[in-house]
């Protein structure tokens, strides 16, 4: 019989006391383990959590170092860094409408296709979009407020002199690393060392807190060149005008201070604008003064004659028959203009190949080779400039008689224009040669003697005769100053022989001849105006630049201030080629 008091709750389950105690112990132990783990992570090994937090929010950014300036000898800036903005993106966070995307691409100077391609790399943490955005453009990019687009401070290189100094100063790439010229040669000194700064970014990448400077940026140091911007500008304009007038392939000029060996000007044509970061023609980038070598032609005759004078083989008045032709083995040497009997001084004045060759064959090959080597031929000038040429000077033991004869007038040997100007310091400094430099010098240069002062002065007198009426370069004369110099006209080697229509015209000279202060060398490559002799093509450039340099440095005249009477075109002496 059913009794109400006997009814039991069906949901009530009985649990043994031992099991309930076990469950309670497990729960308590779990809580103790969690508390212990929390204490360990937060109090003992908190760096793990800190590192994970930093990985999400803390970033180390590079603080760019200000690149040092390049200045001329008077402090005129030739390369400076201007502040710009570097724009970059986190591809996975970029969100923009079609209109915003198109506007962003235009401001970044990218096509929409190129911008989409860069932002498609979502696996990358960030991508660079433009490293040198002007501040006003950067402000317009900021105003778009496109998520995932960020900016940092950067610097862009600017070259105030543009194409006038291009080959010497060079340029940097988008990362501000030197690529050519002195920018490359002095990369380490100019670049400095970037700093490091910690920042805290929010989930959108915006900097919300500065965590402090970790390493201060070490600014690059300035580099002072030996160049005088005034003479450089004058030299560049004179060279450009000559290259254009002569329809020449190229041209080069270098100006040396005879007292210090400093390069006061160095220019080349064709040239380029280093501020234009577009594609450049490799032919425009070559610093031909330093990196190109050529056969110098008759500008080498004074060195051969110096050896003969020094060894007592000849005197300035020694007579040499230059009429007709001169056979050396199976080869024949000739002059462009027949003169007959000339003394040694007139061999220079009239630029006789036959006279120079006969003098050379009266010397030993070793003595000529030693002279060429002593003035720097065959060895790079060690200016620290990238790619400078050492030219070509074979060992005298391999010379054949015809090679010894032709080297006397600059065939069979190759030199750079810088080497040629450097070698002429021997005549300007009374027989001594000093190193040349592209940077401003303070210490007195170390000189070494190559020939006696007597021989150097004798040759310098001959070089003056070459510039006077009756010589090969009267166009090199300057009112009020005595000038000495030598022309060179050489056929260009082509396909194993010498071209009959391509020439290199050159002139190397010094002034004032009584006590030379400057040496200037000019080279015009392949003139096509109908004139190709060094006295016609290169000497006028020398006269223009030398005249300006002498006045800029207030060098006192050493000749009467009377107009110069130049010979008519019929009276111009043609040099040997």
- List residues with catalytic annotation: 298
Rg (CA), the chain: 37
> Alpha-carbon distance 220 to 240, whole Å?
34
CA atoms within 13 A on the CB side of 251: 31
Nearest 10 degrees: Cα torsion 173, 175, 177, 180:
0
> Alpha-carbon distance 351 to 543, whole Å?
19
Contact indicator for 313, 503 with CB cutoff of 8 Å? no
Q: Which residues pair with 87 in a beta bridge?
A: 130, 151
> Alpha-carbon distance 437 to 290, whole Å?
12
Contact indicator for 159, 79 with CB cutoff of 8 Å? yes
Burial class of residue 473 in the structure, from the number of CB atoms within 10 Å of its CB (0-12 exposed, 13-18 middle, 19+ buried): buried
In three-state form (DSSP H/G/I as H, E/B as E, the rest C), the secondary structure along 66-114 is CCCCEECCCCCEEEEEEEEEEEEECHHHCCCCHHHHHHHHHHCCCCHHH
Helix (H) or strand (E) holding 190: helix 187-191
Burial class of residue 1 in the structure, from the number of CB atoms within 10 Å of its CB (0-12 exposed, 13-18 middle, 19+ buried): exposed
């Amino acid at each position: 019989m059913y009794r109400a008091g006997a009814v039991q709750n069906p949901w009530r389950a009985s649990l043994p006391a031992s099991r309930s105690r076990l469950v309670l112990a497990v729960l308590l132990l779990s809580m103790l383990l969690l508390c212990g783990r929390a204490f360990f992570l937060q109090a003992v090994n908190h760096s793990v959590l800190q590192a994970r937090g930093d990985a999400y929010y803390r970033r180390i950014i590079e603080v760019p170092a200000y690149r040092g300036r390049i200045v001329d000898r008077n402090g005129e800036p030739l390369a400076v860094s201007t502040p710009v903005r570097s724009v970059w993106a986190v591809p996975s966070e970029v969100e923009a409408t079609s209109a915003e995307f198109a506007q962003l691409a235009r401001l970044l100077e990218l096509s929409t296709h190129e911008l989409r391609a860069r932002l498609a790399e979502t696996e990358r943490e960030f991508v660079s979009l433009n490293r040198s955005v002007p501040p006003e453009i950067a402000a317009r990019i900021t105003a778009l407020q496109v998520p995932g687009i960020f900016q940092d401070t950067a610097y862009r290189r600017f070259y105030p002199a543009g194409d006038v100094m291009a080959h010497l100063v060079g340029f940097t790439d988008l990362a501000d690393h030197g690529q050519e010229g002195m920018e490359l040669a002095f990369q380490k000194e100019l670049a400095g060392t970037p700093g490091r700064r910690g920042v805290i970014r929010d989930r959108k990448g915006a900097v919300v807190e500065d965590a402090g400077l970790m390493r201060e940026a070490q600014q690059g140091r300035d580099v002072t060149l030996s160049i005088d911007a005034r003479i450089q500008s004058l030299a560049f304009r004179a060279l450009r005008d000559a290259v254009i007038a002569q329809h020449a392939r190229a041209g080069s000029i270098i100006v040396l201070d005879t007292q210090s060996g400093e390069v006061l000007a160095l220019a080349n044509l064709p040239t380029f604008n280093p501020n234009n970061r577009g594609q450049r023609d490799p032919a425009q980038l070559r610093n031909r003064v330093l990196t190109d070598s050529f056969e110098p032609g008759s500008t080498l005759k004074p060195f051969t004659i110096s050896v003969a004078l020094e060894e007592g083989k000849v005197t300035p008045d020694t007579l040499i028959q230059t009429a007709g032709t001169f056979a050396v083995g199976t080869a024949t040497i000739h002059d462009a203009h027949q003169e007959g009997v000339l003394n040694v001084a007139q061999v220079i004045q009239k630029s006789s190949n036959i006279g120079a060759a006969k003098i050379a064959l009266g010397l030993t090959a070793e003595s000529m080779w030693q002279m060429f080597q002593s003035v720097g031929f065959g060895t790079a000038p060690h200016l620290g400039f990238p790619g400078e040429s050492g030219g070509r000077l074979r060992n005298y033991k391999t010379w054949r008689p015809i090679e010894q004869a032709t080297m006397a007038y600059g065939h069979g040997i190759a030199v750079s224009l810088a080497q040629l100007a450097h070698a002429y310091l021997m005549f300007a400094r009374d027989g001594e040669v000093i190193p040349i430099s592209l940077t401003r010098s303070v210490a007195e240069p170390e000189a070494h003697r190559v020939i006696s002062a007597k021989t150097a002065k004798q040759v310098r007198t001959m070089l003056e005769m070459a510039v006077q009426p009756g010589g090969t370069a009267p166009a090199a004369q300057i009112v009020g100053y005595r000038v000495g110099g030598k022309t060179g006209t050489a056929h260009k080697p082509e396909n194993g022989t010498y071209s009959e229509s391509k020439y290199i015209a050159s002139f190397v000279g010094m002034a004032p001849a009584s006590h030379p202060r400057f040496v200037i060398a000019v080279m015009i490559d392949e003139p096509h105006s109908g004139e190709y002799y060094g006295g016609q093509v290169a000497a006028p450039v020398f006269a223009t630049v030398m005249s300006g340099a002498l006045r800029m440095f207030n060098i006192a005249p050493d000749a009467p201030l009377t107009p110069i009477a130049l010979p008519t075109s019929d009276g111009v002496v043609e040099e040997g080629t």
